[in-house]
A and B are shown apart, each in its own frame.
Chain A
Amino acid sequence: MLAFLGSAGMLVAVFGAGLLVWRGVAAARGDGAGDLIGAARVLIAGAVVAMGAMVIALLVDDFSLVYTANHHAAATPFPFNVATAWAALEGSIVLWGLVLAGYTWFVAARYRRSPDRLGAASLAVMGVVAIFFFGLMATVANPFEVCVEAAEIGCVESSWWPFAAADIPSDGPGPNPLLQNHLMMAIHPPILYLGYVGMTVPFAYAIGALALGVAGPEWLRRSHRSTVVAWSFLTLGILLGGWWAYEVLSWGGYWAWDPVENASLMPWLVATAFLHSGIVQQRRNMLQAWNLILVISTFSLTILGTFLTRSGTINSVHSFTQSAIGPALLGFLALTLVGSFLLFATRAEVVATSGRAKTFVSREGAFLINNLLLTIYAFVVLIGTTYPLILEAFTGTQVGVGEPFFNRLAVPLSFLLLLVMGFGPITPWGEAPPGLLWRRTRNPVVVALAVGLAAAALVTRNGWVVLSITLGVFVIGSIVGLLFEQAGKRVAKTDQRLGQAIRAVLTGDGAFWAGQLSHVGVVLVAIGIAFAANLGTHLEVDLEPGGSVEFEGYTIVYESPFQQSHPSKTTIGSRLSVLRGDRLVTIAEPAVNIFNDTAVPTPEVLHGPGGDFYITLLDIPSPESATLTLDTSPMIWVLWLGGLTTVAGGFLAMRARRHERRPAPEPRAIDV
């Protein structure tokens, strides 16, 4: 029954998508308005039914579905049983499809029926993407196949026919134990997908505009809100992923330049560039070629990312196993890239805009530099991730490219970006009048150096930390300075009090200041990472019961080992007393969870204003000894706070009252 529902849902979705493409193309050509919202409704109905069937199957332990049989276990507690829906390959594509259908419906709801060829063309493009994903679901990656030959656990053979005679296994293997350790499993993938999939919208608008041969900022303006939404969720998704990794995999685990992490970073970098660069096109009608290339790249990178993690061509902690999905995704990626850029090439005259930045010392110039830096950054991540593949394809030799390489290039780029972040917002559009920049930067520079000096003298002399603090204070100083400058002008002109003036300035250009808040967030992230990565300490120790060790001002006393049994796992742990001086801070119980045969460590984290103190149980080789590692991650909370601030900026920008963005042909002398 559920197999039938799920399969039917998929097919309905494919049908809806096809309908959308058909009507969208017709409307884009000018043959009437077309009932696109109707088609979008069919699409989302199918997607919801498919997802619903999957979730219900997981909740009621219906093992006749091959997906449940191979990935679910009856003992899995809520919410991990629901999260199993996207824990494995086929299910994650169902989730992708659902989110895509949601965005498509959202866009279709705003489709104005009177000739709106751009809207129709964009919806047609989204329909094509939906056909691919739902088609993938219905053919190669079908989770609703019925199990026709079962093993003790799991399914041996399956059939796509929903009414086939089912051979139901008594249980399934359950989701990967690493994925049952933390609530994030239920939250992180959907949020990340809201980000990834959302990038389809600006892409669709861009392709629609190219196909119709209409240039100009309209496609940008109409898709801007979706871009901001998608970017915010993508940022949040990456942040949550990092936090989850940190909690589960312990120290430094928030980012390891793992191929899947890179797969999410690349589109984020290019999307950030696109977000910024789009402003220039909306305000000054420039950089259209950049914007088109950036948005096509963003979408392509989301597909590439999916391909890299699903196809098994690269090893990663996230690896799903090889299957035919790899070639399908690669084919779609190639089609997207080649098709989009060929379209770009044929519409080249339309693409080229007339505006040119007069000088680099201008807002446009800053954005241009920003584009370049972010693109290079994404390029570095791309070649680092794919180089082992490429080299092996050509020469057969094997190389590893990991953290040292990425850090070496990413860190300088990040600092350059911080610098641009400080200068950019205080640089006016057009040409900066002489002395303006100096007036705006001299105070922030002085303050930044002073704080940096103080940090070097009092906290640490580590170069990276000091540099990040100095640059960070400079950026924040620039922003605050700008705010006060504008508020000051208001006070001078209108007699408002300063507080009121500040509020007025902030709400007057909400999107801009929301962006500045995100910049503050990025600064905090940089500072947090600098501290945690450079000033962390590490110690591995063997303790016997009653033994103790001193570390970073703490005293750890090993009390005793313990063991607990749960339905799906056994927990082996060690009970420790953590003291500071004579005062007992807490009883820590780092443990190792053993699911069937897999052992997953659950470290104990002590949070504090100075940072996190990490205790990981590695092994209890005998009742007389436990092997522990102790780590500190100083100031790591700054990283999480910064990440949340960055996301907050994005969400605030969504809600901000839109400042009128008409392309002005003649930039005014002082224009912020």
Chain B
Amino acid sequence: MSGRFLRWVGYGIAAIAVAFAVVLASRFGTDPGLVDSPLLGEPAPAFALSPLEGGEPVALEELKGDIVIVNFFASWCLQCRAEHAALTSTADAFAGQGVTLVQIGYQESPPASIDYLELAGRSESALYLADPGSRAAIAYGVFGIPETFFIDEEGIVVGKIIGESDALVLGATIDAIKRGERPGQSVTGDTSQRPED
């Protein structure tokens, strides 16, 4: 009698083991660090940050009515450097078309960011802001950089790009928002989290 019981214990554990292995196997190829932003579809978190050079804080409120692209960057982030030209050219291309690019320094002192932008270039129509204490980064739930948020004309977060973006993705996202769509979140690659990455 107890022999039969043990037999079923044995089969049972073997079956659970198979199920367990299958579940673990399904996680291959997925990125354990990837998360979905809970901000999508929600009003964009407000911020009021001063430009890198100092001066009066710029509030997100003031940009309402435009499509706002909020991009977090730092000089030590390779992917940010790679996408910088695309961001600048997009800002230039859409200048005066109701699209504003806001680039916010992440975990970096303003002088370092300014030096970096000297080399990398700026767009006339874009805003470059400092984020002391990472308040904006925390409010936007930034896990690593670059992360780029798209806020529509009503101030709702409708898109997010994790990783390095390029002009096509940026432009296509803007086009989609102008058509009234909500592009959602997409991952284009890895992000950096600390200068040593």
Contact = CB atoms under 8 A, between A and B. Distances in A.
Q: Do A and B form a real pair?
A: yes
B189 interface: no
Interface string A365-398: 0000000000000000000001001101110001
B144 to A, nearest CB: 13
Interface string A325-338: 01100110110011
A593 to B, nearest CB: 12
A342 B21 CA distance: 16
A330 B6 contact: no
Interface string B7-42: 111110110011011011111101011011000000
B3 interface: yes
A330 B25 contact: yes
Nearest to A597: B196
B3 A334 contact: no
Given A315-B33, A337-B13, A345 B6 contact: yes
Contacts of B21: 330-331, 333-334, 337
Nearest to A333: B21
B97 interface: no
A349 B3 contact: yes
B195 interface: yes
Contacts of A621: 109
Interface stretch (A195-203, A306-314, A462-470): A306-314
B24 A330 contact: yes
A314 B35 CA distance: 14
Contacts of B35: 398
A46 to B, nearest CB: 30
Nearest to B35: A398
B7 A348 contact: yes
A307 B11 CA distance: 23
A599 B196 contact: yes
Given A333-B21, A352-B3, A389-B24, A342 B36 contact: no
Contacts of B36: 398
A669 to B, nearest CB: 28
A341 interface: yes
Given A348-B4, A351-B6, A341 B23 contact: no
A662 to B, nearest CB: 24
Nearest to A313: B27
A293 to B, nearest CB: 8
Given A312-B32, A334-B18, A349-B3, A392 B10 contact: no
A54 B45 CA distance: 54
A288 to B, nearest CB: 10
A393 B35 CA distance: 13
A389 B33 CA distance: 11
Given A348-B3, A352-B3, A398-B35, A338 B17 contact: yes
Given A334-B21, A341-B17, A348 B27 contact: no
A344 B10 CA distance: 6
| Most chain A C-beta atoms within 10 Å of own C-beta, residue among B2, B24, B32 | B24
Nearest to B109: A621
B14 A389 contact: no
Contacts of B17: 334, 337-338, 341
Contacts of A341: 10-11, 13-14, 17
Contacts of B33: 315
Contacts of A315: 32-33
Contacts of A289: 6, 9
A369 to B, nearest CB: 19
Nearest to A388: B32
A348 B17 CA distance: 18
B11 A345 contact: yes
Contacts of B196: 596-599
Interface string A533-549: 00000000000000000
B18 to A, nearest CB: 6
Nearest to B18: A338
A195 B65 CA distance: 64
Contacts of B195: 597, 599
Contacts of A348: 3-7, 10
Interface in A342-363: 342-346, 348-349, 351-352
Contacts of B9: 289, 293, 344-345
Contacts of A330: 21, 24-25
A598 B197 CA distance: 8
B14 A337 contact: yes
Contacts of A338: 14, 17-18
Interface string A63-103: 00000000000000000000000000000000000000000
A307 B20 CA distance: 13
B186 to A, nearest CB: 16
Contacts of B25: 327, 330
Nearest to A288: B6
Interface in B22-80: 23-28, 30, 32-33, 35-36
Nearest to B8: A345
Contact of A345 (B7, B24, B26): B7
A181 B2 CA distance: 55
A563 to B, nearest CB: 18
Contacts of B7: 345-346, 348
B14 A345 contact: yes
> Which 7 A-B pairs rank lowest in CB-CB distance, beginning with the nearest?
A345-B10, A337-B17, A598-B196, A348-B7, A334-B21, A344-B10, A349-B3
Interface of A: 289, 293, 307, 311-315, 322, 326-327, 330-331, 333-334, 337-338, 341-346, 348-349, 351-352, 386, 389-390, 392-394, 398, 596-599, 621
Given A342-B10, A345-B6, 7 more contacts: A327-B25, A337-B17, A338-B18, A345-B10, A348-B3, A386-B20, A621-B109
22 contacts: A311-B28, A313-B24, A322-B28, A326-B28, A333-B21, A334-B21, A337-B14, A341-B11, A341-B13, A341-B17, A342-B11, A344-B9, A344-B10, A345-B6, A345-B7, A345-B9, A346-B7, A351-B3, A352-B6, A389-B32, A398-B36, A621-B109
